[in-house]
Structure 1
Amino acid sequence: MTMYDAIHQHADLANAGISTATTQAPKEIPRIKSGDLMQQKRELEIDHAGRIYRLRITQLNKLILTA
């Protein structure tokens, strides 16, 4: 089952008044290392639903996401 399917199944069950707490095991949240995502760059753009977001690494080595 894809994450998309799981979200829609959860919504369908919730709309039917059925709790998913007992019907589904907790899922692990996917994790990616920032270095793998940034690929040796200090900044990248993310296109989400037609809107461009900028993810960058600051001088203090923190991540900032802006629209």
Structure 2
Amino acid sequence: MLRAERQVSRRHLAEALGVHYQTVGYLERGEYSPSLHLALSIARYFEVPVEVVFSTEPFPRIGHEPS
């Protein structure tokens, strides 16, 4: 969500983080858990606390109204 809001391409983010662009896709789909170093690097890149980007609880779906 942050990446899309800030109009950063997967490829650009991957280059800034030193990872393959497919890794960014895996992270976004929840198919890969990042190392602590990578999680902190992503948070630093977006200038937000790591909890804004990663959580042990699933994030609610966008556009989903709570019941």
Same fold (TM over 0.5): no
Normalising by the smaller structure, the TM-score range is: under 0.3
Q: Name the one with the larger helix percent.
A: 2
TM-score (norm 2): 0.25
TM-score (norm 1): 0.25
